[in-house]
Amino acid sequence: MGWVMFCSSAGSFVPKHLLPFARYVADAPLEAIPQFSWGSAVLAATYRGLCTGCFKSSGAEPIFGGCPLLLQLWVHERFQIGRPAVVHSSYQAYILDDVDGPTMGSLWCDRRFAYGHVQTRKSYPDFVGQFDVLRDDEVRWEPYYEEAVESRAPEGLSPLCVRDAKYWRTRRPLVFDIYVEEHAVHCVLRQLGLFQEIVVPQSLLPSHVHRFTRQGQSVSQLWAPRLAEFVTKWTTALDDVVLEGRPHDDAAWGHYLRWYQPRT
């Protein structure tokens, strides 16, 4: 948990609030392992890591919290900038059952890869420059469409990849530890091949909630009552989902550019 899913600046130590969950899983019989909402928790932790990282001003605090692997795989699937070179042939010899099986990310994790020989000492401005000249046709907008999955995994992906697909479009806030994050589903509809509204809806999450932090707080601080509202909302996540059915089209892309360019 502390090494991949919920990374922090704790080094070789694991945050103590993760230990009860690890104990629940370790002590449970194989047929009754607790089904926590790990996906939403990892996403919430990663969103918070991105928010925190944007405000860091010192090289002495370079730690990115959340799940860096998730962000890395997300980027590799969509952009050629900075990603390693791997063989893109179809998966072979995976054993499929009700749990185990490959994922789309297995391509980047299980295969030998290589990086280019060109190196830079000023990676940040170089990467910014490459993204500034990126064209629409150089972005893989829909990496998980049916043909892409079939090409990479002819025998199918792990059933866990889509087991909770019904939650992908919920508008309920995501919760991990004391972090509460907006689920920005309105920003990712295009990757599902759907029409994406250009005028971003206003956040329904109070600003003070997004600023929850343990820094400077008393050890006796009771967080459960302050988070109960959002935990309860997650239990009804399927009652508030985006029901967009219109497909993405070029007109929507043009509208997006007219909205985006004056703001950058």
Query: Helices 38-54 and 68-78, interaxial angle, to 10°?
Result: 90
**Residue scoring higher pLDDT (74 or 204):** 74
Q: Report the candidate in 205, 256, 249 with the shortest Cα–Cα distance to residue 227.
A: 205
- Confidence band (pLDDT; 50, 70, 90) for 254? confident
DSSP H or E stretch at residue 180: strand 179-181
CA distance 154 to 141: 21
Instruction: Fill in the DSSP letter of residue 99.
Output: S
**Residue spans per domain, the chain:** 84-163
pLDDT in tens, 106-165: 888 888 887 766 677 777 788 888 888 888 889 998 888 888 888 998 888 888 888 888
Whether the predicted pLDDT of 204 surpasses 90: no
CA distance 199 to 134: 23
Instruction: Fill in the DSSP letter of residue 96.
Output: P
CB atoms within 10 A of CB 49: 22
